[in-house]
Amino acid sequence: MNFKIEYEQEADGRWLAELPQIPGVMAYGASKEEAMAKAETLALRVLAERIEQSEDKPQPINISFAAV
């Protein structure tokens, strides 16, 4: 699994990071790095929940996040 994190700075100075491949995975942070770290953490939680609830089948793990 490879995911791309998209990020942008909001008008109020906060950073927003999201993973479009996983609906609902968006996170704000005071810095770009903080927002990206929070989005990565949330993405892993969502994927784990999907596997636990049998929504996704387990796959060999090779996860990478790339910023765009």
Higher confidence at residue 56 or residue 25?
Answer: 25
pLDDT the model gives residue 58? 64
Mean pLDDT, the chain, integer: 87
The number of angstroms, rounded, from the C-alpha of 11 to the middle of its chain's C-alpha atoms is 21
What's the whole-model pTM score? 0.80
Burial 24-60 (b: 16+ CB within 10 A, else e): ebbbebeebeebbbbbbebbeebbeeeeeeeeeeeee
Task: For residue range 35-58, list pLDDT tens digits in order.
Answer: 999 999 999 999 888 888 887 666
Has residue 29 got a pLDDT over 70? yes
**DSSP secondary structure letter of residue 10:** -
Residue 40 confidence (pLDDT): 92
